[in-house]
């Protein structure tokens, strides 16, 4: 069994004062967590958050990384820059990036490659829309999204974290049931096993309205190795409760 991993996705929330309050609250209550913990912060706050959590049990992550290595890409932040500033994890292919920024499966796969190339662990998000679920396409969609990442990253995929995030569950308060999530996680595990002999060690997180009330049930499923948490990661007590549920 792999160690569980709870990662917070702060999205475009926070301020220097709010980050300070949130991280000091988490550090005061976290004790010695039995799982891995990370917060994926807006890139502008990487330096501040690194200063607050360096040397603690909370690791630093971001929410995106450039598909380009370096050069004339105004506004972009490269994997090497993130690594230089103490970042360990980068979410790639979040549905909000796919939806609002036109990120294709190929772009997401390249981003994962850039992160891995610089020693940053990509948290690769896959997930179907409600329309795709209702059309019976869930399995085909997540397999297509993951296949692009496997294709581009070969044997390095054992270094990834995968997050199954059904789009209809993100930020809606309507989580997948533990059974629905486990069903898709099992599909992803099978796909990873076909590509890597180390697939059983790849953490597959669930994300989509995971909260203090439903975390235990979701995290008890065989192939759910942790959670990618949005809204509940902004509340100290809720995030701590989810971490405690990941034992
Ligand atoms: C997310 O943004 O990755 C997410 C899972 O959000 P929420 O927990 O708010 O649904």
Residue 131 reports pLDDT greater than 70: yes
State the sign of the Cα–Cα–Cα–Cα dihedral 136, 97, 22, 37. positive
151 is catalytic: no
pLDDT above 90: residue 154: no
The predicted structure's pLDDT at residue 233: 98
CA of residue 28 to ligand 1 center, whole Å = 24
| Confidence class for position 1, pLDDT limits 50, 70, 90 | low
User: Residue 168 C-alpha to ligand 1 middle, in angstroms?
Assistant: 10
Per-residue confidence (pLDDT) for residue 247, from 0 to 100: 81
Tens of pLDDT along 54-83? 999 999 999 999 999 999 999 999 999 999
Identify the active-site residue in 128, 159, 165, 185: 165
Closest CA to 62 of 37, 27, 81, 87: 87
> Which one, of 167, 3, 183, 186, lies nearest residue 96 by Cα?
167
Output phi, psi for 226, to 5 deg.
155, -170
pLDDT tens-digit readout, 93-104: 999 999 999 999
Can you give the pLDDT at residue 139? Answer: 98
List pLDDT tens digits, range 40-61.
999 999 999 999 999 999 999 9
Question: What pTM did the predictor assign?
Answer: 0.97
Cα-to-centroid distance, 87 and ligand 1 (Å): 20
CATH, residue 79: 3.20.20.70
Q: State which residues form the domain around 181.
A: 5-68+75-245
Nearest to 230 by CA among 9, 3, 15, 6: 9
Q: How many domains does the chain have?
A: 1
Pocket test for ligand 1, best of 231, 233, 238 (most atoms within 8 A of CB): 231
């Amino acid at each position: 069994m792999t160690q569980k991993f709870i990662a917070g996705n702060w999205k475009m929330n926070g301020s220097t004062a709010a980050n300070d309050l949130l991280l000091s609250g988490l550090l005061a209550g976290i004790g010695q967590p039995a799982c891995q913990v990370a917060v994926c912060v807006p890139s502008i706050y990487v330096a501040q958050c690194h200063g607050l959590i360096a040397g603690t049990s909370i690791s630093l992550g971001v929410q995106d990384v450039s598909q380009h290595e370096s050069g004339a890409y105004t506004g972009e932040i490269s994997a090497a820059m993130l690594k230089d500033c103490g970042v360990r994890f980068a979410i790639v292919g979040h549905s909000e990036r796919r939806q609002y920024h036109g990120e294709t499966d190929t772009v997401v796969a390249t981003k994962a490659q850039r992160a891995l190339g610089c020693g940053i662990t990509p948290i690769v998000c896959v997930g179907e829309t409600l329309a795709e679920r209702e059309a019976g396409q869930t399995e085909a969609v997540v397999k297509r999204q993951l296949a692009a990442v496997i294709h581009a990253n070969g044997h390095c995929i054992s270094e990834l974290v995968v997050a199954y995030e059904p789009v209809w569950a993100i930020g809606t308060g309507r989580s997948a049931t533990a059974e629905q999530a486990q069903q898709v996680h099992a599909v992803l595990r099978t796909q990873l096993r076909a590509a890597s002999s180390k697939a059983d060690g790849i953490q597959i997180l669930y994300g989509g309205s995971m909260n203090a009330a439903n975390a235990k049930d979701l995290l008890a499923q065989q192939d759910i190795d942790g959670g990618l948490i949005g809204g509940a990661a902004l509340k100290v007590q809720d995030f701590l409760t989810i971490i405690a549920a990941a034992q």
